[in-house]
Structure 1
Amino acid sequence: MSSKGAINANPAVVGLGGFALTTFLLQIHNLGLIETGPVVWVGFIYGGLAQMIAGFQEQKTGNHFGYSAFASYGAFWIALCLIFMGNHYGVFVSSATDIGWFLVAWTIYTVFMMMGAIRVHGAMATTFALLLAGFILLDIGHFGFPVMNTVAAFVLIGCAFSAWYMMIGAILKDVYGHEILPMGKPWVQNHPAELLGQSKKPPMAPAE
């Protein structure tokens, strides 16, 4: 069957859903409300596999930001679930400090992604700002200040709902044919060259 004229769905509706739901579950676990089991299994399938597939679909559209974000954070979830399982079975056991450095590495990556998020739209920038704040708090929590893990849980629950907001916004826009939930203006609307006093136009419009 020919695929000519076929319309591809937006991979972000799965990627954002996987990111949001597993982030929410992990924070509910960090608050002591559920055991590790749901986090591990949902993390492997929805946060890990489904999110990575969404990233690979973004790659086909030429969306560097979506490709990097979904594929990378999908890998994050798979790695984190393997750390949980390794600690449970006594294989390649990771200490709190080990996990702390693991989180520091992802904090650095999130800083880089934040640079792009502020150019997309307000909802994306808000999601990444909350994610970055959550990672920083988790970093502190794993290096001797465990109370910060609880603070991080509430911040990252906000991050999860922000990602869900973008997900349902994209779905409703497709269903109703126009924007229902506003995404907000980019936090940085000028091209970097313009900020330096040059007159270069953006090569492409911000993603919606």
Structure 2
Amino acid sequence: MTVMAERTTSHMLVEEFEEIASAAPETVTLEFLNGRIEEKRVPDGDHDEIVRWLLRRCMQQRPDLFLYPAGRGLKVEEYRKGRARPDGVLAPDGHFAGEGEWSDPEGVLMVVEVTSHDGDTDRRDRQDKPAAYAAAGIPVYLLVDRDAGTVVVHTNPDAERGCYLDTHRAPFGEEVVLPDPVGITLDTDILKSWVG
């Protein structure tokens, strides 16, 4: 880990990151954003329940799509030089057949992140990831922010500027519409149970 920590302070090539990530043990999830290696925290049970709940809602309302749970690697950021493993990736069923560890985000309709209770959440989930996903042109970024008790829907990505032009925040308990191309409505009241 010392070599990795030293290397993150200089410019790392994406190929170097992929080599490090492929050698990491299964208990460690690594991402590469803004030229830095990030270790993604192992999710707790409430985090998993939120992803499970969302997976079920997606399957009920859009059986033509599948919410691929954590582990699906995406090439993100400008020129696809970042690597992220969202908590969920919504795409047409079978979309990633034949793909390797890191897939181009073309055809991905939505990415999902659920905040973890750690010091990197603000920078990672609320700043770096929306910029990376927008730069990759992913139409919808859904953030379930357990710390704030809100669901944040980012839409209308501006790939050149690396930001979403529209953001809607709703407190847990409100109905949230995930607009086209997703087309799913969420009753978020149950999320109040999983903020711990």
> Whose strand proportion is higher, 1 or 2?
2
Higher relative contact order (CA 8 A, sep 6+): 1
Task: Return the index of the structure with the highest Cα Rg.
Answer: 1
Please confirm whether the aligned pair reaches a TM-score higher than 0.5, indicating the same fold: no
> Whose helix proportion is higher, 1 or 2?
1
* TM-score normalised by structure 2 residue count: 0.30
